[in-house]
Chain A
Amino acid sequence: MKAVLFLFALVCTLWQCVHAQIPSEQEQHVTSFFNSHGGSTSRHTNNWAVLVCSSRYWFNYRHMANALGMYRTVKRLGIPDSNIILMLADDTACNSRNKFPGCVYASAARDLDLYGDNIEVDYRGYEVTVENFIRVLTGRMDPSVPRSKRLLTDDRSNVFVYMTGHGGNEFLKFQDNEEISAFDIADAFEQMWQKKRYNEIFFMIDTCQANTMYSKFYSPNILATGSSELDENSYSHENDRDLGISVIDRFTHHILRFMEGVNKTSQATMQDLFNVYDYEKFMSHAGVRSDLFRRPLDQTYITDFFGGVSQAEVMSPPLSLSPSSNEGSEPENVPESELPVELDQSLDFTSWISSDTNATSGACTKARREHAECQGVGVDWTSSCSCRMGWE
């Protein structure tokens, strides 16, 4: 009996070794794609974004447009709504002063509507307070607060924190009523580090004297950038004659223009983004703080923070994900990170692999595959599944 078991084990290990050694051409192709440009050195498995517009009133339209521009960018690059916390202190799109109802524009040419048809604002109006912002970051909230208002990050999450509004030397004004200081944010990030709530943070801030806001950070793995130095103002970019106010700030405008050239599979790095900074365009000295960040900036991808992409492991044998495949042949409990893929160029497979880890379950994965199959009918079967994806 024991001899039989031993022989069986030996055969199994030999079989595994034999099969593991010869990488198929399929695997070589995929591995070379992911490892081109040296591959991403980040250890993150999911992406989150916290976008805060802290100013109220119609004349601060540009701050709302800043935050919405960033919202649209991160959604386009793959972070789903369930992983984005959007805080807007006032209602601009449906404001009675808005000549274009339901629309928020970031340029005077009004070529792109940032509000769109599919937007979820998690904190709005009077709910955008310093207390709620710090509670979101640290995760210390009342048990009745719903999931969509929580930052459910873990120690492998990359978090993009964007703040815009009126600010000054080491403070940011919230709703003209209260202020948050650089020390508060630094302490909140330290709490996040102690509680293992982030892998890396990218902190971007667009206010007057913005660089002072990140001067007090002391936790590791934080990359920070701001729009202006101490005693410098950040300026708006252009006015809209019909709306009667400025629609975008210079710093955010140029960053968004750079981002329009970045897509989900882009290999652009953070150094490319920071090379865009130019005093002639911004009229202020934008700064970067990378001493707390352990990776070199020219090897850190933009999509590590802005996009919802992550690593993928290739398993053999590959299964076809074309819409005609019979769902019965696919095992239902395949873990998300190990989905085998065929390089079907028509399918944007990086979005399949984007780890929406907080909503994965067997039923969700199956429902998402069914969605692709049923797309021709126009019926959305994911209504029975509670996960939310950025693409509908």
Chain B
Amino acid sequence: MFWRNNILAVLLLCCTWCLATSEEFHEALTFRPLQDGRLATRFTFTTLLRGAYPRDPSTLQEEDESQHYAIFPLALGQVLREYAVTELHLTLNAGKWDYDHWGYPDEPGVGTGAELWAWMGESAARSVDERWKGLRNALSGQFCASLGSLDEQRTTSPELTFRPEGSLPQWGTTHQLRHGTLPSEHVCTENLTPFLKLLPCKSLTGIASLLNPHRLFDADWHGLGVHVRYLENEGIEVRLSFQSVFDPVRYSNGRRDWSLRSVFDRVIDRSCPIAHSSEIRVAIPKEETAVAITPDSYTTHAGFVYFNVSNASKPLDISMSWPDEQKFEYATVSSAVPLTHVSVRRTLKGSSQSRGRLSVSITNHMPITIQTSYLESMPWLLQFYLHSLQIYSNGVSRDDLISIVSYIPSVPHVRPTLFQAILTLPPKSTLHLSMDVIKPFLRYTEHPPDAQRGWDLPPAVLVPLLHSNSSTLDPGLSNPPSGFEQLRLPRRMYTPVLLVDLATPDFSMPYNVIIMSCTLIALIFGMVFNLLTRKFTLIRVSPEPK
């Protein structure tokens, strides 16, 4: 009797263990020394919830099945289930990513400020817009960012540019994209704190213990990202990333040697026991100067040096030095091979406060024709005059190089502009695109508290699509031209944000007007009342009794 009961219990346990979702946590840190002496770092914390499935939006009316997570962050999981989100990408970046000197970033979302985009399935129970509102408010509370202000005046649906990075489940309903940007959002320690709380080991052990906010927010560029996607045969993956570009030449006196201690002011004392894999990768720079990497316990593969943090001796401090170099010399001429396929520059021209000219110049470094998609999602306060769009390539007007895919004009106070086009870039040439824009005169209450600063305009997004001799758009290129092999496949490229100066009123005017009118009315009323009602009469004052 006793053994029978026990066997039943054991069998039940095995069944539930097999059926239950299993979770894996991987952490990685990648270092890439750049040509201008800087160091690009990227932390990646990936949690994979195997066997899990995003919530079907048609079940939003009913009670959700209970979710049990051991490693997967519960706070994020609850938000995703509540709003039935299939794919989510949130980035909070500060600084300007310099594509010309730093190449492509490891994570493509480098637009300055906050950027949130999500793919959600349609549902009759709760509309996508309603869930988008709930999602951005929930994330704003979770990450201490002002994402709640990504309302319909800043939200668009640019489906050509922001393709889903995972798979979208087949539920019979279509998925919709919602995208919003806040270019003026600051990033500081209060955004990093909840980010670390989503990790199983937090910032106590493992690679996450290197995340020192006093050093991270001193970097030349930094950005944190939360990416959730559904992978067809695997499950739901949450990838938390932190990228930054440090300048070791600034910290030391002119040398570009770096170590974990010099960059983060910390070393790794203990490895995270939950991590399935925990490794640090260092890219070996492709140049003739000798490079020394310590400690010696690494493996080399495909131009990278790999350290296994779990096995390495602790405290682990990795360092890279150039022993033959006395002082770092900045390159005086640009490198022979550009670091990206295209370069973009966007400016707002004009000195008037009523109109301007938006100008974009795209340079194609490749010897073949490239097509690129171009996205502008401009808030309503800068309206395009699309008829004034002009395209010049090498001084010649070429209207055939642009093919407008969609243009949703803005409606003041209601929705932003969405402009998506495909540009064809001839080999080794520069394309100049410009059009007139008009700046509005805002209502007195619509100005932000620091109105004299101006408004930040979201970055334009380009997705270069390389294609072989066929005319179809092939996102991959199997045989890149010589000299471009080391370039990775391009994903989205972001231009820097622009600052537009709108006419501001004199904010003290309402007070002045009220005071002036009240004074005048008081004076006039007093005078008129006296004139009408005051009467001078003689009064006899009797002499005082003695």
Q: Which of A272-280, A322-330, A381-389 is near enough to bind chain B?
A: A381-389
The residues of A that contact B94 with a CB separation of less than 8 Å are 94
Answer yes or no: A56 CB below 8 A from chain B CBs: yes
Contact call B214/A125, Cβ cutoff below 8 A: no
Within 8 Å by CB of A56, from B140, B213, B449, lies B449
Contact call A127/B146, Cβ cutoff below 8 A: yes
Answer yes or no: B464 CB below 8 A from chain A CBs: no
Closest partner residue, chain A, to B204 (CB atom)? A378
**How many angstroms between the C-alpha atoms of A380 and B196 in the bound complex?**
12
Tell whether A122 pairs with B144 under 8 Å between CB atoms, given A101-B214, A144-B137: yes
**How many angstroms between the C-alpha atoms of A312 and B232 in the bound complex?**
52
B477 to chain A, nearest CB (A): 39
The residues of A that contact B449 with a CB separation of less than 8 Å are 56, 89, 126, 175-177
**How many angstroms between the C-alpha atoms of A389 and B73 in the bound complex?**
16
Closest partner residue, chain A, to B70 (CB atom)? A384
**How many angstroms between the C-alpha atoms of A177 and B144 in the bound complex?**
23
The residues of A that contact B272 with a CB separation of less than 8 Å are 379
Answer yes or no: A147 CB below 8 A from chain B CBs: yes
A366 to chain B, nearest CB (A): 15
Contact call B202/A120, Cβ cutoff below 8 A: no
Answer yes or no: A25 CB below 8 A from chain B CBs: no
Answer yes or no: B450 CB below 8 A from chain A CBs: yes
**How many angstroms between the C-alpha atoms of A34 and B10 in the bound complex?**
49
**How many angstroms between the C-alpha atoms of A219 and B144 in the bound complex?**
33
- For residues 210 through 248 of chain B, which have their beta carbon under 8 Å from a beta carbon of chain A? 212-218
The residues of A that contact B144 with a CB separation of less than 8 Å are 120-122, 124, 148
Answer yes or no: B201 CB below 8 A from chain A CBs: yes
The residues of B that contact A392 with a CB separation of less than 8 Å are 202
Within 8 Å by CB of A145, from B73, B137, B213, lies B137
Contact call A119/B134, Cβ cutoff below 8 A: no
Contact call A149/B141, Cβ cutoff below 8 A: yes
Closest partner residue, chain A, to B269 (CB atom)? A378
Contact call B146/A124, Cβ cutoff below 8 A: yes
**How many angstroms between the C-alpha atoms of A149 and B141 in the bound complex?**
7
Closest partner residue, chain A, to B190 (CB atom)? A121
Q: Which of B168-176, B181-189, B335-343, B488-496 is near enough to bind chain A?
A: B181-189
- With an 8 Å Cβ cutoff, the count of chain B residues facing the other chain is 51
* From B94, B204, B507, residue with most partner A Cβ within 10 Å: B204
Answer yes or no: B460 CB below 8 A from chain A CBs: no
The residues of B that contact A127 with a CB separation of less than 8 Å are 146, 148-149
Contact call B204/A380, Cβ cutoff below 8 A: yes
Contact call A102/B274, Cβ cutoff below 8 A: no
Closest partner residue, chain B, to A94 (CB atom)? B188
A122 to chain B, nearest CB (A): 7
Contact call A384/B69, Cβ cutoff below 8 A: yes
Answer yes or no: B180 CB below 8 A from chain A CBs: no
Contact call B141/A145, Cβ cutoff below 8 A: yes
Contact call B74/A119, Cβ cutoff below 8 A: no
Contact call A102/B189, Cβ cutoff below 8 A: yes
Within 8 Å by CB of B138, from A100, A102, A146, A175, lies A146
The residues of A that contact B504 with a CB separation of less than 8 Å are none
Contact call A120/B194, Cβ cutoff below 8 A: yes
B57-80 contact mask (Cβ, 8 Å, vs A): 1 or 0: 000000000000111011100100
Closest partner residue, chain A, to B203 (CB atom)? A117
Within 8 Å by CB of B217, from A89, A93, A380, lies A93
The residues of B that contact A314 with a CB separation of less than 8 Å are none
Answer yes or no: A91 CB below 8 A from chain B CBs: yes
Contact call B69/A94, Cβ cutoff below 8 A: no
Closest partner residue, chain A, to B448 (CB atom)? A126
The residues of A that contact B71 with a CB separation of less than 8 Å are 383
Contact call B217/A94, Cβ cutoff below 8 A: yes
Contact call B141/A380, Cβ cutoff below 8 A: no
- For residues 100 through 127 of chain A, which have their beta carbon under 8 Å from a beta carbon of chain B? 100-103, 113, 115-122, 124-127
Closest partner residue, chain A, to B209 (CB atom)? A378
Contact call A102/B218, Cβ cutoff below 8 A: yes
The residues of B that contact A176 with a CB separation of less than 8 Å are 449-450
Answer yes or no: A1 CB below 8 A from chain B CBs: no
Answer yes or no: A7 CB below 8 A from chain B CBs: no
Within 8 Å by CB of B189, from A116, A126, A142, lies A116
Contact call B141/A146, Cβ cutoff below 8 A: yes
- For residues 115 through 166 of chain B, which have their beta carbon under 8 Å from a beta carbon of chain A? 133-134, 137-138, 140-142, 144, 146, 148-149
B139 to chain A, nearest CB (A): 8
B60 to chain A, nearest CB (A): 15
Contact call A380/B194, Cβ cutoff below 8 A: no
Contact call A91/B188, Cβ cutoff below 8 A: yes
A51-78 contact mask (Cβ, 8 Å, vs B): 1 or 0: 0000011000000000000000000000
The residues of B that contact A146 with a CB separation of less than 8 Å are 137-138, 140-142
Answer yes or no: A17 CB below 8 A from chain B CBs: no
Contact call B74/A56, Cβ cutoff below 8 A: no
Answer yes or no: B30 CB below 8 A from chain A CBs: no
**How many angstroms between the C-alpha atoms of A84 and B495 in the bound complex?**
38
**How many angstroms between the C-alpha atoms of A118 and B204 in the bound complex?**
12
The residues of B that contact A147 with a CB separation of less than 8 Å are 141
Q: Which A residues contact B (CB, under 8 angstroms)?
A: 56-57, 89, 91, 93-95, 100-103, 113, 115-122, 124-127, 142, 144-149, 175-177, 377-380, 383-386, 388, 392
Q: Which 7 A-B pairs have the closest CB atoms?
A: A146-B141, A94-B188, A175-B449, A91-B186, A177-B449, A101-B218, A121-B190
| 30 A–B contacts, CB within 8 A, in A order | A57-B450, A94-B188, A101-B214, A101-B217, A102-B214, A102-B215, A102-B218, A115-B188, A116-B189, A117-B213, A120-B190, A120-B193, A122-B141, A124-B146, A124-B186, A126-B449, A127-B146, A144-B134, A144-B138, A146-B137, A146-B142, A176-B450, A378-B205, A379-B200, A379-B205, A383-B198, A383-B199, A383-B200, A383-B202, A386-B74
In addition to A101-B214, A379-B272, 12 A-B residue pairs with Cβ atoms within 8 Å of each other are A89-B449, A94-B217, A115-B188, A115-B189, A115-B213, A120-B194, A121-B144, A144-B138, A146-B141, A380-B202, A383-B71, A383-B200
